[in-house]
A and B are shown apart, each in its own frame.
Chain A
Amino acid sequence: GAVVSQHPSWVICKSGTSVKIECRSLDFQATTMFWYRQFPKQSLMLMATSNEGSKATYEQGVEKDKFLINHASLTLSTLTVTSAHPEDSSFYICSARVAGSEQYFGPGTRLTVT
Chain B
Amino acid sequence: AQSVTQPDIHITVSEGASLELRCNYSYGATPYLFWYVQSPGQGLQLLLKYFSGDTLVQGIKGFEAEFKRSQSSFNLRKPSVHWSDAAEYFCAGDNNNDMRFGAGTRLTVKP
Contact = CB atoms under 8 A, between A and B. Distances in A.
Interface of A: 32, 34, 42-46, 49, 93, 95, 97, 102-103, 105-108, 110
Interface of B: 32, 34, 36, 41-44, 46, 49, 90, 94, 97, 99, 101-104
B97 A49 contact: yes
B90 A105 contact: no
Which of B41, B43, B46 is most buried by chain A, counting CB atoms within 10 A of its CB?
B43
A35 to B, nearest CB: 12
Nearest to B88: A41
B99 A43 contact: no
B43 A108 contact: yes
5 contacts: A46-B99, A95-B99, A97-B97, A102-B32, A108-B42
A93 B97 contact: no
Contacts, number: 35
B43 A44 contact: no
Contact of A43 (B34, B41, B101): B101
Contacts of A103: 94, 99
Given A49-B97, A102-B34, A103-B94, A43 B102 contact: yes
Q: Is the interface of B mostly helix, strand, loop or mixed?
A: strand
Contacts of A107: 42-43
Contacts of A102: 32, 34, 49, 94
Nearest to B100: A46
Contacts of B102: 43
A34 B43 CA distance: 14
A2 B49 CA distance: 15
A45 B34 CA distance: 16
Nearest to A46: B99
A114 to B, nearest CB: 18
A90 to B, nearest CB: 13
